[in-house]
Structure 1
Amino acid sequence: MYRKAAIALTFAVLLLITYSIFIGTVDLRSYFIPLLQSSPLGAQTLCATGPPLKVFMYDLPRRFNVGMLNRRTAEEAPVTGKDWPPWPKNSGLKKQHSVEYWMMGSLLWEGNGGDGTEVVRVSDPELADAFFVPFFSSLSFNTHGHNMNDPATEIDHQLQIDLVKLLRESKYWNRSGGRDHVIPLTHPNAFRFLRPQVNASIQIVVDFGRYPRVMSNLSKDVVTPYVHVVDSFKDDNRSDPFESRTILLFFQGRTYRKDEGIVRVKLAKVLAGYDDVHYERSVATGENIKSSTQRMRTSKFCLHPAGDTPSSCRLFDAIVSHCIPVIVSDEIELPFEDELDYTQFSIFFSFKEALQPGYMVNQLRKLPKEKWIEMWKQLKNIAHHFEFHYPPEKEDAVNMLWRQVKRKVPAVKLAVHRSQRLKISDWWRRRK
């Protein structure tokens, strides 16, 4: 009797699986390899989903992009893959806001659209899923003056005026209201004069906290990492990485910041007096970046308090140094968080916890060596997702960003299609 019941049950399960495969709704891993479903994200290889995103890129004169890298040339013709310039080695902190450069380069690269890439450039805008606007808004701020009273700032202002005029004359901008256009705005002051004019676009941003929800929000925008400034730790193969890292907690940077960044001054007092805590006030010179690189590689934990905005390049410097990030922020948003679980390789403290004397240091000291090594391994596994390359590499930051954009497109298309036929755009809000 039991044998017949078991045979019947087995037959029913096989029939169900066969039917599911036939209609395309089954994931065989969930039947036969359930452990894969719960394995740590950091240990998995994230993979592309579906065909590459089809992107049309506007051909803008070089003054809007690479012309800022070499201001001695008057060349205005749009840059091509054949004359794509390398990122300057002596750019200093400008590098951290260079996401716009790497995204543009990925569209110009001759291997664009090949295996492992998430985006393909199309020459016919009618075929495009999205439109890329290659304006280096962050570099424009860093290049053309740093305050509103600087005469050079007018160049940045005029570039924004010229770009908005060009976009408003575009059939494709007007068709969607700019909602299917991608614009990198990674510096907090990028596009500072006319930011409201491009609010509807898919913005590539670092910090959401600086702007109100009507300007930046997770439903339409993409969180990007800063481009790391320190060199990546390529040969981190010590037999005992825990013992070889003799500094418990490391921080080096500006301590006088505004807004949430005032926590840095308070942390200086809380963390004073510990022999194995290095908390140093400094500015980002070439020499200080070199010393920071070495100290991150010899530290177990690297502190990431808020700066002028909740995020800073320091977090991504820590990741590529395989130094466990200690994130002190109540409002930070993190890149690729739909694919990466930051709690597997980072530790989080609220402002209140971090400013409680002795609390943060004691919690770090309590973390078992085995747990630290597990987190260190996770960092090594996921660090390549925060690397920017030209040509782009599979699963690097550039491809991760395009994959994030691809996931925004369906909602954008829905909004555009509905807006084209609705007589009362917000009728659902008027319901009682």
Structure 2
Amino acid sequence: MDSPIIGKRRIQFWFVVLASFLLWLFILYIFHSAPIVAKPGVILVGDNLANSVNFGDSNSVLLPGNSNESVDRLPNKGNFTSEETKDFVEPIKDTNVKDVAVKEKNATENWFKYKPFSNFSAGDYGLENFDHVVVSERQVHLNNQTDLAENEVQFVSQVPNSETNKEESDDEVAISQNGFEPTGSLSMVENRNESITKEPSNEDVDSESDSCLGRYIYVHDLPSRFNENLLKHCQLLTNWTDMCLFTSNGGLGPRLPNFNRVYSKTGWFATNQFLLEVIFHNRMKQYKCLTNDSSLASAIFVPYYAGLDVSRYLWYSNTSMRDAASLELVKWLREKPEWKKMWGRDHFLVAGRITWDFRRMGKNDSDWGNKLMLLPESRNMTVLIIESSPWDNIDFAIPYPTYFHPSNDNEVFQWQHRMRRQKRRFFFSFAGAPRPKLQDSIRNEIIDQCRASRKKCRLLECNGRVNRCYKPVYVMKMFQSSVFCLQPAGDSFTRRSTFDSILAGCIPVFFHPGSAYVQYLWHLPKDYTKYSVLIPANNVKNGKVSIEKILSRIPKEKVRAMREAVIRLIPKVTYADPRSRLVTVEDAFDVTVKGVLDRVEKIRREMREGKNSSFSYPEELSWKYNLFGTLGEHEWDPYFART
């Protein structure tokens, strides 16, 4: 009797267990098959949630001159909260419209005319003055919450020696999602009274007499409209881009992430090539021989942001708007007692654009630039500029800012050591765009020769919708992998690419002596054969020479010596982080200040002796006098003949 009952209960027990199991399966099925409810515009994809959040609609505008391309606008004042996957691009040219919208390129057919002596700005890789860098807006937003420096990739002494299609594809994916990493910005509007050191006491003067005697610099306390206010309204500096992103970190811009270990661990920033004035001013605030007593000063610095000021008005404006600030500045200077001491001959300023942007000869609104460097007061000063005029004696070229800004000596030494060990799989390379509308340009010939050299030459073409030249990682990676880097002229003689190649330990190849040799007199050796190669542009244009054959004839021992000379130049063409100070290494700022002090002292000595040898030669021969100290015939005369 008991056995059947027990058996029946066992069956019922297992039935309950089975039913419970099936019920749980059913519940799990319902749970996993239910639709995911999320906020509108948010896409959740597996484990890639962090890389796939997209808020709001896109906000695209057309690039000038190309109705098929668009660029995503950044919110004003750097409030990056949307569109993670969209790219931020800097415009080809900035205009005088105070909104951020891009204008159609409908101004004039002379846009790309080759007038290096009266027109436009310095060329680089692609269309001129276009520092196109990809921005990850999500990273910019997250920067306010995390310290990105803690997540940087550890320093590796050598870049991978090979580039495969897979590597390049992976690079593009990474860059499209992570343009660069902004860090906590250094306030650019600092208390000017705090930026200058206190007047040296007798004890201070005695203790530093050996190091600062003859090196004291007095900085004019300019009205803020000449510098600080420009940065406060940084979103209005150009028509196509909110420049506030690039004025961060003391003018260095956002920090660059170390994709594929192309850079070293620290010191790399997405620096805009036209922010030299800001970088230099902030470096000057760290100069150890500043003084508030102008009677002690050997030179006087004028912290006027001339390039940022004129950039607002270079396009679509009248000459009065372009000249207004320059005229106000010289009027302000004339009224200062410091000016009357030497009538401005001990004054110097930095203009972060090329000389042709400040040398307008005509009075028509269609004439290019302003007339800052033609004013009588300006002609008494020393003007430091990224490209000087070979035919004038007041402006001196100093290096374009690169992406590397070390904060200590060791960072410089580590990078130099890495470039010495770097394996270079390409014999020569070129990063740039053709110039079909410039009759004298040799870029088409260079591109053709590079393609013909096949595996020996690496070409990074700067055109098309996907333009790698606008992404520093591709440019620096190619230069680090090349023995020689071709540096033809753009819209003017010089280009930032020259200094990018030096930074990468790549031997620059020039086609005109005006691209470097008569420009950077304080920073580059006068014997150009020690660190570079000169191939006459006419020979390339006429098809008389093969670039590959000329370079291949250079002995290997000579090539090694040239590369070592280039690597030794790295500190001299690098601007250290303004928030720090190098100890044993002289950077581009240090070399520049020394050059200014030597020039002012020479002028002061000549004035005491009643001489004026600095202007005792025809000014159009300035390039020859400054470089060689003589005015006799020279093989470069045809390059600089004024027609």
Per the normalisation by structure 1, the TM-score is 0.69
Q: Quick check: 2:387–2:494 contact (8 Å CA) kept in 1?
A: yes
1:360 aligned onto 2:547: yes
- Aligned twin of 1:193: 371
- Aligned twin of 1:27: none
Match of 2:300 among 117, 120, 131: 131
Cα displacement string for residues 282-337 of structure 1 (whole angstroms, at most 9, x for unaligned residues): 16878533211111111111111112222211111100010111111143424245
- Aligned twin of 1:174: 340
- Aligned twin of 1:207: 387
Letter in 2 for 1:225: P
- Aligned twin of 1:101: 278
Query: Residue 88 of structure 1: CA displacement?
Result: 4.9
Indicate the structure whose relative CO is greater, using CA pairs within 8 Å and at least 6 residues apart.
1
Q: Quick check: 2:507–2:562 contact (8 Å CA) kept in 1?
A: yes
- Aligned twin of 1:64: 226
Q: Quick check: 1:178–1:200 contact (8 Å CA) kept in 2?
A: yes
Match of 1:311 among 471, 476, 494: 494
Q: Separation in 2 of the partners of 1:319 and 1:307?
A: 18
Larger Rg: 2
Q: Quick check: 1:329–1:349 contact (8 Å CA) kept in 2?
A: yes
Q: Separation in 2 of the partners of 1:184 and 1:239?
A: 33
Letter in 1 for 2:326: Q
SS at match of 2:216: strand
- Change in Cα spacing, 1:322 to 1:160, as seen in structure 2 (3 Å) is same
Q: Quick check: 1:261–1:308 contact (8 Å CA) kept in 2?
A: no
**Alignment of structure 1 residues 105-120 onto 2, 5 Å:** 105-109=282-286, 112-113=287-288, 120=289
**Alignment of structure 1 residues 19-418 onto 2, 5 Å:** 51=213, 53-71=215-233, 86-90=250-254, 95-109=272-286, 112-113=287-288, 120-142=289-311, 144-147=312-315, 149-150=316-317, 156-188=322-354, 189-191=356-358, 192-197=370-375, 198-209=378-389, 213=391, 216-217=392-393, 221-229=395-403, 234=415, 237=418, 241=422, 244-256=423-435, 262-275=441-454, 276-282=456-462, 287-332=470-515, 333-337=518-522, 340=525, 341-355=527-541, 356-389=543-576, 390=578, 391-393=580-582, 394-417=585-608
Letter in 2 for 1:329: H
Q: Separation in 1 of the partners of 2:234 and 2:549?
A: 54
Cα displacement string for residues 97-150 of structure 1 (whole angstroms, at most 9, x for unaligned residues): 3332233223322xx32xxxxxx21111122211111011122233x1432x24
Percent identity between the aligned chains? 20
Q: Separation in 2 of the partners of 1:133 and 1:414?
A: 22
Q: Quick check: 2:572–2:587 contact (8 Å CA) kept in 1?
A: yes
SS at match of 1:204: strand
Which ranges of structure 2 fall in alignment gaps of 5 or more residues? 1-209, 236-247, 256-268, 359-369, 406-411, 619-643
Query: Residue 155 of structure 1: CA displacement?
Result: 5.8
SS at match of 2:309: helix
Q: Quick check: 1:353–1:360 contact (8 Å CA) kept in 2?
A: no
Q: Quick check: 2:222–2:303 contact (8 Å CA) kept in 1?
A: yes
Q: Separation in 1 of the partners of 2:380 and 2:276?
A: 20
- Aligned twin of 2:197: none
- Change in Cα spacing, 1:155 to 1:281, as seen in structure 2 (3 Å) is farther
Q: Quick check: 1:336–1:404 contact (8 Å CA) kept in 2?
A: no
Per the normalisation by structure 2, the TM-score is 0.48
Cα RMSD, aligned residues only:
3.8
Query: Residue 416 of structure 1: CA displacement?
Result: 4.0
- Aligned twin of 1:29: none
Cα displacement string for residues 7-59 of structure 1 (whole angstroms, at most 9, x for unaligned residues): xxxxxxxxxxxxxxxxxxxxxxxxxxxxxxxxxxxxxxxxx998452211110
- Change in Cα spacing, 1:182 to 1:359, as seen in structure 2 (3 Å) is same
Q: Quick check: 2:416–2:568 contact (8 Å CA) kept in 1?
A: no
